[in-house]
Amino acid sequence: MIIAIDGPAASGKGTVARALAARFGLPHLDTGLLYRAVGFAALTRGLDLEDAAALAALAAGLDLAAFDPEALKSGPVGEAASRVAALPQVRAALLKLQRDFAARPGGAVLDGRDIGTVIAPQAEVKIFVTASPEARAARRYRELSQRGEAVSETSVLEDIRRRDARDSGRASAPLVKALDAVELDNTALSAAESVARALEIVAARIAPPASGME
Ligand code: CDP
Ligand code: CDP
């Protein structure tokens, strides 16, 4: 079983993906970390974030295990990730790794922006997790301030809106709900309620309730 979770920044994709992976005993890949690792490495090396050839070479040689996951979670790294992710050459360099993960025997859970549309269009379950920009900014603000980053809620909301526009507006694998994805708007839900709703969506896909029409 492949479970594809997509959605905008700080919508709660990771929370849902981790919970489903644990519930079904499946491996989980947070594909945002791949783009964040490329962004982080590019910032560290002082690369131009528009130098597609250099960034694609970086992405092709990427070893995610070599990065400290905590270092990848910062605001500036998220912004750099979204910029490098707009380059088709970078996306192409990361494609095989993600497709191989999705094709693992027994299945997998992947979360990102283009899992249900590009990486695993054959996924049995697709969930598009979303929430209002204000709710997402409040969540991200809490996370970043807990990390000790000096941010304001207004600046986090601006960052989220800019990232939404870039991720949805790019030509290459834009953030878009797959036609066969189920939308989970968790603006008014707690993380636990969002996970419970995701479990219902999976259950309905795997064993749809009898229609009673036969
Ligand atoms: O955690 P958050 O939702 O803020 O972002 P993320 O999932 O870590 O992804 C960081 C950036 O990587 C996003 O803004 C996207 O531009 C890009 N990304 C992508 O293009 N495709 C994916 N499958 C995953 C992430
Ligand atoms: O992976 P993504 O960036 O989409 O979001 P996340 O890391 O799963 O969640 C961002 C934050 O929102 C975390 O601190 C969650 O606990 C919190 N949250 C949530 O995931 N779902 C809700 N319905 C409410 C809050």
- Please indicate if the annotation marks 11 as binding a ligand: yes
Q: Give the distance (Å) from ligand 2 centre to CA of residue 54.
A: 33
- Please indicate if the annotation marks 116 as binding a ligand: no
pLDDT at 212 over 70: no
The single-letter DSSP state of residue 46 is T
Interval 18-38: pLDDT, tens: 999 999 999 999 999 999 999
- The span from the CA of 193 to the CA of 188, in Å, is 9
- Please tell me the predicted confidence (pLDDT) of residue 141: 97
- Kindly provide the b/e burial profile for residues 57-67, where b requires at least 16 CB atoms within 10 angstroms of the residue's own CB: ebbeebeeeeb
- Please indicate if the annotation marks 37 as binding a ligand: no
Q: Give pTM, 2 decimals.
A: 0.95
| Cβ-Cβ contacts under 8 Å for 61 (sequence gap 6 or more) | none
Q: What is the ipTM of this complex?
A: 0.97
Interval 137-189: pLDDT, tens: 999 999 999 999 999 999 999 999 999 999 999 999 999 999 999 999 999 99
> Cβ(78) to ligand 1 under 6 A?
yes
Q: What number is the average pLDDT over the span 45-71? A: 95
Average pLDDT, the chain: 95
Domain ranges of the chain: 2-203
- Nearest ligand by distance to the CA of 72: 1
Q: Give the distance (Å) from ligand 2 centre to CA of residue 96.
A: 27
- What is the CATH code for 2-203? 3.40.50.300
